[in-house]
Amino acid sequence: MIHCAGMLIGAVLSTGVGVSQAGMDDGAAYNQQIKSWRQHRVERLTAPTGWLSLVGLDWLTDGVNTLGSAKDSSIVLMKAPAHLGTITLGNGKATIALDANSDATIDGAKKSGAALLDDSHEKPTAVAFGSVNFYLVQRGDKFGLRIKDSEAPTRKNFVGIDYFDIDPSWRIEAKWEAYNPPHEVQEPNVLGQVDKVIVPGAAVFQHGGKTYRVEPVIETPSDKELFLVFADKTSGKETYGAARFLYTSEPKDGKVILDFNQAYNPPCAFTPYATCPLPTKQNRLDLRVTAGEKKYRGGYD
């Protein structure tokens, strides 16, 4: 399961900008590193194919699905020609056949059709026309089209992100308790589905004299980062209600760094068309995490 990923959440939402210990030793340098992280985060979010460009998530049915702006299409694409083409789904596989006059491209090339790779692949097959593109996503046993438009109102009307003040005390060195073997746990998502995820261990930390424990997951076997979906006492008040996300480097010497100044909103905070995971019971903290991103004031809800 790639979390609400579409095009690899680590690449789209996490910037890969870490904070060094040297930076921690210099308060000004730490602040600058967090500001740089935020800048990269916004650049990715507002990119032409970033999450703010998401305008649709339409589920396919087995058999032939028609695409186009015609009202009788199985999936209506408002900016498409009346008849863009068809997608045939069967046995967990999907293929697209484009109308000869569609003027659409497949992976940037003029083709009449192709097999569609879904978002579990590093590069899912991209179909594009005008300012719009879409690709296949799989969630459980469901397949759908994630549709993006570089001219989406959510992108054009982006109002910026609000943050808690940068606070070095929220860069926490936690004790890492590895699970041998790793645990497989059930994690819910906003669609009401439950996905099995791999938990390699727990990060145990103290704050305000109390001890807390969270369980990050590994998204893919080759990942060098851990991914944490968490909620806390600010959720639904100062911060997005469902959850916030946090990436951290893999454990080293029995420790793992949880820098909550890099906690950020999931795609679902910006668009109703994302399929975000929800925190497990273990990752719902009885604690106010006053660091990272606040609730998006331009939210659709």
Q: Report whether 38 contacts 163 (CB < 8 A).
A: yes
Residues carrying CATH 2.60.200.20, the chain: 51-156
* Per-residue pLDDT reduced to its tens digit, 53-86: 999 999 999 999 999 999 999 999 999 999 999 9
Q: Which fold has domain 51-156?
A: Tumour Suppressor Smad4 (2.60.200)
Q: What is the mean pLDDT of residues 129-143?
A: 94
What value does the mean pLDDT of the chain take?
91
* Per-residue pLDDT reduced to its tens digit, 146-200: 999 999 999 999 999 999 999 999 999 999 999 999 999 988 888 788 888 999 9
How much is the pLDDT for 219? Answer: 83
Asked which of 19-33, 73-87, 245-259 is least confident by mean pLDDT, the reply is 19-33
Paired tokens of 212:
């807390």
Where does the pLDDT of residue 25 fall: very low under 50, low under 70, confident under 90, or very high at 90 and above?
low
Amino acid in the structure at residue 252:
K
In the 8-state DSSP scheme, what is residue 103? -
Where does the pLDDT of residue 21 fall: very low under 50, low under 70, confident under 90, or very high at 90 and above?
low
Q: Report whether 212 contacts 265 (CB < 8 A).
A: no
Paired tokens of 71:
């009202």
